[in-house]
Structure 1
């Protein structure tokens, strides 16, 4: 259930003057009610209401007063609290229980103000009961809900914010009710740029200090810059939500220099923008730090600029790695026999740099457990480095299929390590069934079965399925898994 602190909620709703209704002066027939209102609540025929007008007891309304008092008691108010409430806001006695008080109490309970918290909230600001439920209370609540998120059961749990938490310098942001209008302006600005409530909540949760920003001098110029370089429409909220730090970096000394640095490598605005979208952390990386140092390392090794650009575009996170990790990755790749001028060198570096030393050793040991030698591992790595990024389970599943189902020898898998990236259930097994049937019907001329697994979907279907439907009408069903192949493996 979503809850909001009473202090913050009260600040939102306390903005309008109160209107009260005067009644005529007649004696009250209920002595106990008269005594309670006069002695405990301090009211009389001459008591001023908060609007400066007089609340005068009316004999016709005595049952209404008693109903209101009874209603408050049924919701946990004791006599002293009721007295305090009526003393502070006498016009509450003019309310209607079914049409006014009951709906508001139900709403407050629904949003989390239950038990002793309900009387406490209302006593701290009796004006809550005089505000319109639909035009004041609910809108105020949902403004806060949009800002602070829909998950959790408190401000702290929703966005890791609190009225008592330390300032942003200490890791959290103190919500200051004096700045509510600023918060609303920021939320409105985000919404005007296509942010959904959930995205705003995520943004504030991850980077609360964004609420300290100024729209005109901080957020607006950065949004305009991002839009100028092509991050527009739904892409804009997506990029910022994935890396809120973008809005905390200096536009002139960080964001723009980083963009210009990457443009030197990629040569076009479009490629830089596409790369940012692929790795939003790139935009907040220091172009004078790790980015430049890592690029310099590759240049010093003789890696062609076009290959560096390719790596930056396809695996941008690699150039944001710790410099020491980049140095170690380059060393490892060279030891495995991949030359810097080789087109696979940058992919090999990206693969090694993406893993810790212990994880790298674990992958090597997995391949050895499958019967591969270090030379086999290195040979496959030169052909397709990314095969070592597969999980242990994936490696073993593919090896099991290749060796036990398709009956490949080790040399075949070493020659086609890209098979490790293929799905056994969605690609390898369905295609194998088709090829098995074609083999039995003497319709398969290509004996290099492994290469057929790597063909594009359209090419495979046209050349190995559609082409043979006349001879094998149910071949498409076999491919889709609707009909089991009755032939045994002869591959």
Structure 2
């Protein structure tokens, strides 16, 4: 028989008073840690509560005072927030005093919400006063600043005033300056980009009136790099344009504002409708805007001219300005009248459909509507689309 001997473990009992001492010592040693932790939690909680109140107040203000939708207001509140209405109210009062309507304010705030919390007396007020001093105020001022509120972020002495003086030297009146500002805010960097580009254009023979027309109609062209301008000018001249003509401006705008890929894509579309290289050059020289149209627009109009009106593709190229006209408002209504008059043997083909489409509204009304009203009493209704050609048994 084996005897199993197991030595029982010995435990040292700790008296209750000792446990109390250990616990008290731990608490005393970590009092500052607990205090700091609870303090940090309180600060974070307070900041979150403050941010929540700011967010809620800002959203409500954007909705109720600026006329913005809840979705836009919530989005803008991530960019700017405020707890009271004192500063934004003073900004809105100043804007309304300067001719801004509720629609102007909504448009401006949506684009530049931080203007509501800007320094009113130091930044916003002096700029508005300058615009007033040069005769730009009321609706004109509200229109330009709500369209391009970033102008208010430019420096008055170093950007806005020199910009205005530069434009004043190129265009004749404030109305045109306002239109330029609405189209391009990048003109604030005139000395670095615009002035050198203008000098280059003058150097190739572009007239002062041509440059003024370019500034007024498409100021963004002059804001590009000198390398881009040089490349575009060479391409336009190689296509046979004379820099001293207005057609050169249209061609330069078309080439400059379009990427190489977009240009090639539109060329491909015109080729698919049967245009040769000569057809394209003829069309582009006649009306450079034919290349500014979208691919969908080109296809829709070429389909109507070729498949419904029966024009040859080369005939469209010779009258390329027709491609820039509105299909619904001009081309189809006038073609309906032309078709009816032709089938009634009231006009001869020698008139040419291009003449019908390109005539002014008054010339068209005098020569094709009023003139034949007695012979075709329904002519005005046909023109206005109240009577469809199919009702008269006439097809395209």
Deviations 1:390-411 (A, max 9, x none): 1111111211121122222233
Counterpart residue number, 2:166: 261
Secondary structure of the residue that 2:195 maps to in structure 1? helix
**Where does structure 2 lack aligned partners over 5 or more consecutive residues?**
1-47
Counterpart residue number, 1:388: 291
Tell me how far apart the structure 2 counterparts of residues 194 and 236 of structure 1 sit (CA, whole Å): 8
Taking a change above 3 Å as real, the CA distance of residues 186 and 431 of structure 1, as seen in their structure-2 partners, is: same
1:151 and 2:102 equivalent?
A: no
**Where does structure 1 lack aligned partners over 5 or more consecutive residues?**
1-119, 126-138, 162-172
Taking a change above 3 Å as real, the CA distance of residues 214 and 380 of structure 1, as seen in their structure-2 partners, is: same
Counterpart residue number, 1:108: none
Taking a change above 3 Å as real, the CA distance of residues 338 and 425 of structure 1, as seen in their structure-2 partners, is: same
Alignment of 1:22-101 (within 5 A): none
Taking a change above 3 Å as real, the CA distance of residues 397 and 383 of structure 1, as seen in their structure-2 partners, is: same
Counterpart residue number, 1:411: 314
Deviation at 1:145, TM superposition (A): 3.9
Between Structure 1 and Structure 2, how many residues are aligned?
343
When structure 1 is superposed on structure 2, of 359-368 and 179-188 the one drifting more is 179-188
Deviations 1:5-60 (A, max 9, x none): xxxxxxxxxxxxxxxxxxxxxxxxxxxxxxxxxxxxxxxxxxxxxxxxxxxxxxxx
Deviation at 1:232, TM superposition (A): 2.4
Counterpart residue number, 1:477: 381
Alignment of 1:104-253 (within 5 A): 143=61, 145-146=63-64, 150-152=68-70, 156-161=74-79, 173=80, 175=81, 177=83, 181-197=86-102, 199-253=104-158
Taking a change above 3 Å as real, the CA distance of residues 248 and 488 of structure 1, as seen in their structure-2 partners, is: same
Q: Give the aligned CA root-mean-square deviation in angstroms.
A: 3.0
Counterpart residue number, 1:468: 372
Q: Give the conservation status (yes or no) of the 8 Å contact 1:436–1:489.
A: no
Deviation at 1:350, TM superposition (A): 0.6
Q: Give the conservation status (yes or no) of the 8 Å contact 1:149–1:202.
A: no
Taking a change above 3 Å as real, the CA distance of residues 470 and 425 of structure 1, as seen in their structure-2 partners, is: same
Deviation at 1:246, TM superposition (A): 0.9
Q: Give the conservation status (yes or no) of the 8 Å contact 1:285–1:291.
A: no
Q: Of the candidates 230, 235, 250, which is equivalent to residue 327 of structure 1?
A: 230
Counterpart residue number, 1:353: 256
Taking a change above 3 Å as real, the CA distance of residues 154 and 361 of structure 1, as seen in their structure-2 partners, is: closer
1:444 and 2:347 equivalent?
A: yes
More helix per residue: 2
Deviation at 1:464, TM superposition (A): 0.3
Tell me how far apart the structure 2 counterparts of residues 393 and 154 of structure 1 sit (CA, whole Å): 32
Q: Give the conservation status (yes or no) of the 8 Å contact 1:204–1:211.
A: yes
Q: Give the conservation status (yes or no) of the 8 Å contact 2:124–2:152.
A: yes
